[in-house]
Amino acid sequence: MSDRVYLDHNATAPLRAEARAAMLDAMDGGGNPSSIHGQGRAARARMERSRRQVAAFLGAPPEGVIFTSGGTEADILALRGTGRRRLVVSAIEHDAVLAAVPDPVRVPVSPSGVVDLAALDAILAAGDEPALVSVMWANNETGVIQPVADVAAIARRHGALVHSDAVQAAGRLSISFTESGLDLMSVSGHKIGGPPGIGALLVREGIALTPVATGGGQEKGRRSGTENLPGIDGFAAATEAAGSAEEIARVRAIRDAFEARLLAAVPTARILGRDVDRVMNTSAVVMPGVSAETQVMALDLAGIAVSAGAACSSGKVTRSHVIEAMEPNGDAAGSTIRVSFGWTNTAGDADRVADAWIDLYKRAGSARPDPST
């Protein structure tokens, strides 16, 4: 697999050496953080050190960090835990949010994939029951950054609580939970080069949460279950390396070079959300008339791993609800692939995927209907 190019960091990022080393240490160290003997106390000390590290990375107080089994569980705890029954979410949320509660009200987005703040305001103004609003910080399919501070201000004006799924934002832009105005925020270890199976929900002081996982009362009664210490330590270690200004600039240059090559070679190629702020690593590329599945398979044969939409959740290729929300009358939803770069990539990777994509475009061109006829 060594000559393969991995461009699916939004599905999962390869494990960083720092995270691997910390996990091995934690596994060798053993101990249950709830035990009162020496090994237990040592395990708790390690866990609390990791909690402080994760909190510092996200600009939050350590007491507000609840470790969970990942982004999905953090989203579910946020959406179900506050007791609010009126849920208002953006139309482009990850399924972890959309499926957390039955039929949340969906706020539309612009054709560039930015949540419609006027629509959010109107929806919140139309009801008296206190709401919980959930708008992701960065979209997993397009990378488009959402105006989270504006969302929080609007929510606050209407007495609503506000949550953001920051799974794809953490490590890709600088985040301060405290300054964001959010009440709740979800993150996940494996998107930043930590292990899968670990994440956190950040909670502002004073917000009471009814746990989803009940039992032994760990995490101050907010999430029961023996803590996944290797995961927690691996997650914390990944934050040491993730999100540095150097890494963000390097990955952005690689992604931008890829996009520039496509657009120069294929004038009809489109990159969704390119006219608005995006995280530095994601390209949602449309090849009109060629299904996303065909593109993913052709690139895979060329040794390049990309995905169609949010394949991180299921392995199946379905039409993207994100792109349908952006372009309800267009046909991009079935013909867009997600190319997501990250800490392992080089400039050569951008060239390889650009070459393979342009080659496929030329080959598929003979099968594509002539737009002039």
Catalytic residue ranges: 312
Q: Which of 50, 72, 282, 294 binds ligand PLP (CB under 6 A)?
A: 72
At its nearest, how many Å lie between ligand PLP and the CB of residue 270? 22
**Using rule CB under 6 A, residue 282 touches ligand PLP:** no
Nearer to ligand PLP, 201 or 292 (CB): 201
**Using rule CB under 6 A, residue 71 touches ligand PLP:** yes
**Using rule CB under 6 A, residue 195 touches ligand PLP:** no
Q: Which of 31, 64, 199, 243 binds ligand PLP (CB under 6 A)?
A: 199
- In sequence order, the 6+-apart residues with CB closer than 8 A to the CB of 57 are 170, 239, 242, 243
At its nearest, how many Å lie between ligand PLP and the CB of residue 138? 8
Q: Is residue 86 left, alpha or beta, with left meaning phi > 0 and alpha meaning psi from -120 to 50? A: beta
Query: Using CB atoms within 10 A of its CB, is residue 38 exposed (0-12), middle (13-18) or buried (19+)?
Result: exposed
**Using rule CB under 6 A, residue 140 touches ligand PLP:** yes
For the record, the structure tokens of 315 come out as 């392995």
Helix (H) or strand (E) holding 325: helix 321-326
**Using rule CB under 6 A, residue 312 touches ligand PLP:** yes
Nearer to ligand PLP, 164 or 294 (CB): 164
d(CA 229, CA 221): 17
Residues in the chain: 373
Closest-approach residue to ligand PLP (CB):
71
**Using rule CB under 6 A, residue 232 touches ligand PLP:** no
**Using rule CB under 6 A, residue 342 touches ligand PLP:** no
Number of residues near ligand PLP (by CB under 6 A): 15
At its nearest, how many Å lie between ligand PLP and the CB of residue 169? 9
Nearer to ligand PLP, 199 or 334 (CB): 199
**Using rule CB under 6 A, residue 145 touches ligand PLP:** no
Q: Which of 64, 70, 143, 334 binds ligand PLP (CB under 6 A)?
A: 70
d(CA 198, CA 296): 28
**Using rule CB under 6 A, residue 193 touches ligand PLP:** no
Nearer to ligand PLP, 79 or 269 (CB): 79
CA angle 305, 321, 150 (to 5 degrees): 105
d(CA 235, CA 215): 24
| DSSP state letter for 87 | E
Nearer to ligand PLP, 50 or 140 (CB): 140
Nearer to ligand PLP, 76 or 131 (CB): 76
At its nearest, how many Å lie between ligand PLP and the CB of residue 211? 18
What residues numbered 159-188 form the site for ligand PLP, per CB under 6 A?
Answer: 165, 167-168, 188
Q: Closest by alpha carbon to 265, among 356, 137, 135? A: 356
Q: Transcribe 92-133 into DSSP letters.
A: T--HHHHTTSSSPEEEPB-TTS-B-HHHHHHHHHT--S-EEE
Amino acid present at 80: R
Nearer to ligand PLP, 50 or 294 (CB): 50
Q: Strand locations in the chain, DSSP E? A: 5-6, 65-68, 86-90, 105-107, 131-134, 161-165, 184-188, 199-203, 270-271, 282-286, 304-305, 336-340
**Using rule CB under 6 A, residue 313 touches ligand PLP:** yes
Report the DSSP beta bridge partners of residue 170: 173
List contacts with ligand PLP (CB under 6 A). Answer: 70-72, 75, 94, 96, 136, 140, 165, 167-168, 188, 199, 312-313
